[in-house]
Amino acid sequence: MATLQLASWATNLAYANLTSGVLIAANKSLYNWAGCAIGGFAFQPAPQIALNTTLSPFSGPPTSSILGSTNGSISRGFADAQVAALVNGIASHVDDYDDTHLETIIHPAGPVASALLAIAEAYGPVTGHEFITAFVAGVEAECKLGLSVSPEHYDVGWHITSTVGSIGAAVAVGKLLKLDTTHMQHAIGVAATQVVGMQEFFGSDTKSFHIGRAAQGGMLAALLAKNGYTSSLQALEAKYGWLHVVSTRENATAYFDQLGNVWEIEKNTFKPFPCGIVMHPVIDGAIQLSNETALKGLSINDIRTVELRVNPEVLILTGKTNPQTGLEAKFSIFHAAAIGILYGEATPSQFTNDVVKNSTVVDMRKKVNVTEDKSVSKAEAYVSLTLNDGTTLEKHVEHAKGSIENPLSDAELKMKFMQQVSLVIGDKRAENAYKAFSGVRDMEDVAVIRGLY
């Protein structure tokens, strides 16, 4: 019944059902996604390689925006919906700066928004209310599925954002295409069979490919279903269906009963640091120590050792001791501590290949020691440093900046958007882009967004 339950809920969801809290969360999730996609495309090679590889041999009429492409050429700024979904999905995730549903570690906006914007531009007109409703439907589908299989699904090595992302994208696009319940079930099935993404590829371009492929696959699933393509009507709950193949959880469909009552999008969080989220408490603590040493007139050059005490899962996910690239550094707790102490910040600038290979950074990474402690939650960290004279400073971070308990303020989230986008298109256009993406729900036709900045 899970597939039917999800399909029925999604097809019947109306804009009027969305609470003010849901609308606020959806708004933040959308413009944060857009900022990440614009910055990610402009400054990382992966989305540009993907666009260059697919545009000429595979692309149809250029109907949909490539968010970070700025040279004004129709062949570069736009592509067909399938390619746009792929490239924007890659770009929005490549910096590991996107939103996070902390209970599942899903980054929900990437697969859903990348597919939705592409299809809205290609198949419009689509009103802002329709777009937001479809977006929420897709995010809720992703997160309820994620809750249904967590943590076992993630623990065995699946990349949960993409494994649920194709289904979330299918639900969202299916909602936009006004599929009925049966056709939505088929869309969910076609998406479910495209399960994609394993953690082996973290630290490489392929990690962000997972998100682009989920967006593209979910879109294709909805389009196929719209045109009569069939699948299993029990794709999620059947003995050999999605839930039982990718997880060992019993009663895996329990969270579906909460659809429309407990809104997962309201639990969405936004990263202040562009890297694996389990590293954020360490970065937060390291930055605090950097600031404290400066205030006390102490020299970072006199640091003898840096000690971290973290949950064992942190080392499993981010234990790269000697990263060689910026992407690898996003999964190195050693690099995280080093840059937090040395720079007093952790922005995309600290996760470049040049910084990773900087001799001062390399030396500081070598001073970092990590102790695993099961009594420490994944959301906290103990960070201490010892100077050559024996002075020890320590910080205990219970709730890192960007967590539910310590979220980015509206001003901080806008600043994050502006910092990424201004570098690509300048301050004035970045402000226009912020107004556009934060005002989607009031648009009569979402396709106009590409002309607003």
Last residue of a domain, one of 397, 425, 443: 397
pLDDT at 135 over 70: yes
Tell me what the mean pLDDT of segment 392-419 comes to: 96
In a domain, 402, yes or no: no
Cβ–Cβ under 8 Å, residues 100 and 277: yes
- The reply to whether 122 falls in a domain is yes
Q: How confident is the model at residue 236 (pLDDT cuts 50, 70, 90)?
A: very high
- Interval 140-159: pLDDT, tens: 999 999 999 998 899 899 99
| Res. 24: pLDDT tops 60 | yes
> Does position 76 have pLDDT exceeding 90, yes or no?
no
In the chain, how many domains are there? Answer: 2
98 and 27, same domain (yes or no): yes
Residue 231 within any structural domain of the chain: yes
pLDDT in tens, 361-388: 999 999 999 999 999 999 999 999 999 9
413 is a domain residue: yes
CATH code: domain of residue 347: 3.30.1330.120
- Is a pLDDT exceeding 80 seen at residue 174? yes
Q: Amino acid letter at 55? A: L
Domain C-terminal end among 355, 370, 397 = 397
The confidence score (pLDDT) of residue 251 equals 67
**Per the domain annotation, does 440 fall within a domain?**
yes
Residues 208 and 226 occupy one common structural domain = yes
Report the distance separating Cα 285 and Cα 367, nearest Å.
16
Q: Measured between alpha carbons, how far is 392 from 443 in angstroms, rounded to an integer?
A: 55
Q: Read off the CATH number of the domain in which 42 is found.
A: 1.10.4100.10
pLDDT in tens, 265-299: 999 999 999 999 999 999 999 999 999 999 999 88
* 86, 207: one domain: yes
Choose between 339 and 1: higher pLDDT.
Answer: 339
User: Could you tell me the two tokens for 165?
Assistant: 């992302």
Decide which of 452 and 210 is more confident. Answer: 210
Residue 358 lies inside a defined structural domain of this protein: yes
Predicted pLDDT at 72: 41
Looking at residue 408, the DSSP 8-state letter turns out to be P
Do residues 56 and 80 touch, judged by C-beta distance below 8 A? no
Q: What are 50-74's pLDDT values in tens digits?
A: 998 998 778 788 999 999 886 543 3
Average of per-residue pLDDT across 243-249: 85
293 and 223 within one domain: no
Q: What is the token pair recorded at 141?
A: 């589908």
> Do 297 and 414 belong together in one domain?
no
Residue 403: inside a domain, yes or no? no
Co-location of 41 and 136 in the same domain? yes
Q: Are residues 222 and 332 in the same domain?
A: no
Residue 17 lies in a domain: yes
Domain around 264: 2-272+408-451
Nearest to 171 by CA among 57, 8, 375, 413: 8
Query: Do 89 and 233 fall into the same domain?
Result: yes
Same domain as 225, residue 319: no
- Name the domain boundary from 370, 397, 424: 397
199 and 333, same domain (yes or no): no
Instruction: Give yes or no: residues 43 and 90 share one domain.
Output: yes
How far apart CA 410 and CA 403 sit, in angstroms, is: 14
Instruction: Give the pLDDT score at 70.
Output: 65
- Give the pair of three-digit tokens for residue 233: 């009507």
Q: What is the pLDDT of residue 280?
A: 97
- On average, the pLDDT of the chain sits at 94
182 and 77 both lie in a single domain: yes
